[in-house]
Each structure stands twice: as structure tokens, then as C-alpha cells.
Structure 1
């Protein structure tokens, strides 16, 4: 009889101990664990994002997403990486800038 009462209590205690250990301060994030030292061709890259402690990742990195949706991690202090980021920013600014249509004047034929 005592075993019938004890077993559910032990299971409940075990569940309470295990459950918080899994979820404390953990986010489902995909962090870079190391940075590549290889140059990344700009033609491969479609976007980038930054990761670091503020995003829940221990390593500071620039995460480039390729046209094939692969993730490439690079050091944010690398000069080539900074240049590629600037190129991507410039490209994004040009693509989001409003475009003007050529206005036609009265009486003008095309």
C-alpha cells in the first residue's frame, strides 16, 4: 500500500526536478561556435546578421546567409568581413530606395 503512494510522489518529484533544468534561460537559437577564416565571395551572400551575448550566443560573429541558405560564420573584426558587410548594406540601401519614373512632357512622343 505504501508503495502505491510512494511511487507517484517519486515520479512527480523527478518530473519537477528535470523540467526546470531543461528550460532555464535557454532559447532555441542556432549559434556559431567558431568563425571561419576563409574569404567569403560576395556573390554567394544574400544577407547577414550579427550574433553575440545580446542574442544569447557566447561568440560574437557575423552570420552570412548564402543564396543556397547556408550559414557562414565570420569574425566581425576581420577587415574583409567588414568590407562585405558594407557592400551588403549599400546594396540593400539601393534596392530599398524609391525609384523615380521618367515623367513625360506634353507633346513628347516616344
Structure 2
């Protein structure tokens, strides 16, 4: 019985270790998409959410104020914003 008690914390630790992203932190997944279009001048960067632990496909924009905006990848404003940010790099 005492082996079962020790096994539970071990399983929790393994689960948490699997949730750690390649950047060394816990993966932050978009749980819902924002339908709000953001002005191009307010955007600083973006990345495409591809983590296996994140179920929702999304483009994650970071604003100049370090806010994260989760956007639908196929929306015209999302594509336009990604192209804009790619140009200014």
C-alpha cells in the first residue's frame, strides 16, 4: 500500500515535466480565440501555437505592452498582421 502512496506524487511530477515547454517554462496555450482585430502598430511579434499539449490551433500575437492575443490562423486580419510583422523584421 505504501508503494501506491509514493507512486501518485511521482506520476504528478512526470505529468508536470511533460507540460514544460522547450523554452523552459510551462506551456501557455490559447484556450479561446479573440475575434478582435488589433492595429498593426500595436503588435510586436507573433508565433504559431504548435505545442502538442495545446489543442487549439492559433496564432499568438504579442503587443507592444506584452499582452498575448490569440487569433484564428485563417482570418484575413491574422494573415495580414503576420505578413506585416514578417516585413519589419
Normalised TM-score (structure 1)? 0.66
Q: CA RMSD in A?
A: 1.8
**Residue-pair matches, total:** 82
Q: State the 1:22 CA deviation.
A: 4.2
Q: State the 1:48 CA deviation.
A: 0.4
Q: State the 1:55 CA deviation.
A: 4.6
1:80 is paired with a residue whose SS is: helix
In structure 2, runs of 5+ residues without a counterpart are 21-25
Question: Deviating runs (4+, > 4 A) in structure 1?
Answer: none
Higher relative contact order (CA 8 A, sep 6+): 2
Q: Which has the larger radius of gyration?
A: 1
Q: Deviations over 1:72-98 (max 9, x none)?
A: 100000011101100110111xxxxxx
In structure 1, runs of 5+ residues without a counterpart are 1-8, 93-110
